[in-house]
Structure 1
Amino acid sequence: MQVNNRETSDRIVARKSSFQFKRWFKATGWRHLIGVVMAVFSAFPLVYVLSAALQPGGTLITANGLFSKVSLGSFVTLFNLPQQPYAAWYGNTLIIGVITSIGTVFLGALAAYSFSRMRFFGRRGGLLTLVLLQMFPQLLAVVAIFLLLNGISDIFPAIGLDSQVGLIMVYLGGALGVNTYLMYGFFNTIPASIDEAAKLDGAGHARIFFTIILRLVAPILAVVGLLSFIGTTNEFVIASIVLISPENQTLAVGLYQFVSQKFSTNYSVFAAGAVLAALPVMALFLWLQKYIVGGLTAGSVK
């Protein structure tokens, strides 16, 4: 009798556990399963590139054995190639990316504030025009950009071909559009009573914009700055057209040399360069995360 009672109780406990598991899986468990699958799917390319960077061999075939061999030789070789100045590429990318992202945020914020707070003729048409122009990427204007900078080089070489300043100006030329539209929507969430209270105290549009509004819209500024920095550092076509000298090129253009030449391909060095190139983007994302997540507009109006 005692054995039967124990078996019965064990079956009841097993059925209860199975019922609880099914209920948990139906409620939230399937979400965890999808999360694990997506995490593995997203992390595998990163692990593969890191393994290829640590492989002493020079082909992608040797990287198939994940971390079978570990060596830092590719990272050492990366900084000891006179014809491929990786350190110069790294510095150029940071300079161009930081200046372009700051300029993009500043120009976009000025335009968004004007469209959001001021009323003038052509306001709606101008906003729609910016969005429509963004439908045509700068890639379509590569030939025009090359001819324009080539002509400028004869008069102002500092902003012509093979000039980082010229490349920054090209990037800033396409900085408006979607960025302004995103900021415009966020600026509209800021109550107009803040501006009215500041105007009663004698503040003008410039003071309101720089001392009040910019602090309240910090989350969207961080998002636009991060997206601009990522897009600038990863851009290849226009940078390869404008920048000709190896010492003036960016990481996207320079790293292509490691895999474009048939008899000098070294994928381990290329992977090592790609791993190091991802560090600034990751650091910037972690630094701006608190601004992206935090809603600084909460509590601005009492």
Structure 2
Amino acid sequence: MAAQHPVPGSQAGLIAGEIGEFPDASTRAVTSQGDGTRHIPTKRPFSFGRWFGATGWRHLVGVVMVVFSLFPIVFVVSSSLNPNGTLTGSNALFSKIGLDSYVRILSDPQVPFATWFANTLIIAGVTALGTVFLGALAAYSFSRMRFTGRRFGLVSIVVVQMFPQLLAVVAIFLLMSTIGDLFPAIGLNTHVGLIMVYLGGALGVNTYLMYGFFNTVPASIDEAAKIDGAGHARIFFTIILRLVAPILAVVALLSFIASVNEFVVASVLLIDTENQTLAVGLTKLVSNPRYADWSAFSAGAVMAALPVVALFLFLQKYIVGGLTAGAVK
């Protein structure tokens, strides 16, 4: 039996206050004894069932999700290191390891991987910057200004996003073909034309995403700046953009990833091999039914994922706040 120590009234109150400030399983309360003494219970023994019910199941779910997410990555890396060039031989993970596929895709003159890689970075980078800038302008206008057609514009943005971009491929091709006859620099088989299509397709959803985040910024900040003589442009560029940096980072990341992975529109608009992106170019490695070089395809996919991973790690501190803060409106 634990030893009992008498505690004066003033010290008992102090102990009770400290326990109230720092509740813990080991010292939940100061119990009173019949003889006027106080007894502090000892720490309860560890119970696996109690721990699992409180926090343990969360760890189990996290481990399962991590394994589920990493398995495709491990499989692709194993396939890229397989020198045989087949996908079926990669079922036994890392049974054969070699860098032949990386050398083959980087040195093959018929596979301009470096050119595809550069085209992808340019198109995805410009698209991400343009999407952030145009989306921020539109979101600021819908959030801070009141004009005729504002509500109809917001509803239209949501409704248009219900239709997949695949339905507009034929219309996009005909439109860009007609534009190319008048302005060849922004028509078919041009990077500028593809960027314009990407900007138009992503403007709606990103504007609505930013709109929710802009509403979390107090309007009193704008009013204070207007009292000091600042206009809308100065408020937007010097104040608002700094306060909404998390959502800007999230939109830039999502736009960059979408542009890197996009295949349908890029395959329709980009005709020449030298102008194509990684998503279109790498598909040629596995499009031949007689021989599909899955090992080189996997090696190219691994290298194509490096810029996305680097950008994600660089912007990770903004991602959580940018995705959740705008959801309160």
Larger fraction in helix: 1
Letter paired with 1:105: V
Q: Distance in 1 between matches of 2:52 and 2:318?
A: 34
Letter paired with 2:220: S
Partner of 2:210: 183
Residue of 206, 210, 214 corresponding to 2:241? 214
Q: Secondary structure at the match of 1:263?
A: coil
Q: Distance in 1 between matches of 2:53 and 2:200?
A: 51
Residue of 78, 83, 100 corresponding to 1:73? 100
Residue 293 of structure 1, CA deviation? 4.1
Matches within 5 A, 1:1-302: 20-293=47-320
Q: Distance in 2 between matches of 1:245 and 1:113?
A: 39
Residue 265 of structure 1, CA deviation? 1.0
The alignment of Structure 1 onto Structure 2 pairs a total of residues equal to 280
Partner of 2:37: none
Residue 211 of structure 1, CA deviation? 0.4
Q: Distance in 2 between matches of 1:177 and 1:248?
A: 27
Q: Distance in 2 between matches of 1:34 and 1:196?
A: 47
Q: Distance in 2 between matches of 1:113 and 1:168?
A: 23
Moved more, 60-69 or 19-28: 19-28
Residue 289 of structure 1, CA deviation? 1.1
Letter paired with 1:179: N
Residue 294 of structure 1, CA deviation? 5.7
Task: State TM-score, norm by structure 2.
Answer: 0.82
Q: Distance in 2 between matches of 1:40 and 1:293?
A: 22
Q: Which has the larger radius of gyration?
A: 2
| Cα deviation code 1:101-130 (max 9, x no counterpart) | 111111110000000101111111111111
Unaligned runs of 5+ in 2: 1-43
Partner of 2:33: none
Residue 137 of structure 1, CA deviation? 2.4
Residue 155 of structure 1, CA deviation? 2.0
Moved more, 171-180 or 286-295: 286-295
| Cα deviation code 1:169-194 (max 9, x no counterpart) | 11111122121111111101101111
Unaligned runs of 5+ in 1: 1-15
Moved more, 236-245 or 285-294: 285-294
Q: Secondary structure at the match of 2:148?
A: coil
Q: Distance in 1 between matches of 2:84 and 2:224?
A: 66
Q: Distance in 1 between matches of 2:154 and 2:49?
A: 52
Structure number with the bigger relative contact order (C-alpha 8 A, sep ≥ 6) is 1
Letter paired with 1:289: Q
Task: State TM-score, norm by structure 1.
Answer: 0.90
Residue 91 of structure 1, CA deviation? 0.4
Q: Distance in 2 between matches of 1:268 and 1:186?
A: 43
Residue 151 of structure 1, CA deviation? 1.6
Q: Distance in 2 between matches of 1:114 and 1:266?
A: 50
Q: Distance in 1 between matches of 2:165 and 2:221?
A: 38
Letter paired with 1:229: F
Letter paired with 1:68: S
| Cα deviation code 1:276-296 (max 9, x no counterpart) | 11111111111111223468x
Quick one: percent identity of the two aligned structures?
A: 72
Q: Distance in 1 between matches of 2:62 and 2:69?
A: 10
